Homo-oligomer: A and B are copies of this chain.
């Protein structure tokens, strides 16, 4: 699983480096990711944030449009930007829709036989990427890791964080911009889960739904969410942040531990993300460097 360096760009005194490697979890296909290393990484291992992008995006979207690097540099935090799905699996129907298949891996491990060889973004993100990055010797302190994401990637960040709390290698915090907060009750999630999972929504309920998971999670949690009122997908009830708020409250999590802010007038775009990017990076940095 040797990493091949594809490109490198100096940014904010550090380096944004693109790698690719043959991914076992993605059926042997080439997988790309970007990693931002802040200036501190030249001297020492640094804490790390994983950023999960949304539908149709790639490993470049967050790096180019998120506005994350400036504060990551100032705080001395690395950021890993994975892709959003396998690429080129060649499965029939894979490229038919923008919200399923290519660009829409939903950060799960597929169990439906049609998809299960390639569509394993959950294992790719949680196990394979950390492993290959450790092997490569990049100066990252994996005992200090947090995760964040946008839309489908916000769903991924919240569910991966909550699931990790059951393990001996938990993420220390999670944040999300306009996450799909209750996907088993949203059209995007229903379509994805019925397609990728042999057990459909019932299988998803136990592992891939943040609103379900938060009711069972042991606190104190460290979750920050921003979601905008002018977000068309919010209006279409794809995001359902109210369900996550209600579930967190009924499970007894405090508003400080699960801090979900509904932002007036903001939409689903990277203009919205970049507006709150500094706060999200600083939120994680405070926890990661505590």
Interface of A toward B, CB cutoff 8 Å: 9-13, 16, 63-65, 67, 69-70, 228, 230, 265-267, 269-272, 274-275, 278
Contacts and interface: CB of A to CB of B under 8 A. Distances in A.
Contacts of A274: 11-12, 67, 69-70
A88 B190 CA distance: 41
Contact of A9 (B10, B11, B69, B267): B267
Contacts of A228: 10
Contact of A278 (B10, B16, B70): B70
Contact of A11 (B12, B69, B275, B278): B275
A36 to B, nearest CB: 9
Contact of A67 (B13, B70, B265): B70
Nearest to A67: B67
A274 B16 CA distance: 13
Contact of A10 (B64, B69, B230): B230
6 contacts: A10-B228, A10-B266, A12-B275, A65-B65, A70-B274, A70-B278
Sorted nearest first, the 9 A-B pairs with minimum C-beta distance are: A11-B271, A9-B271, A10-B265, A12-B275, A10-B266, A9-B269, A64-B65, A16-B271, A11-B275
Contacts of A13: 275
Contacts of A16: 271
A275 B13 CA distance: 8
Given A9-B267, A9-B272, A10-B265, 6 more contacts: A9-B269, A12-B275, A13-B275, A64-B270, A69-B274, A70-B274
Most buried by B among A10, A13, A69, A270: A10
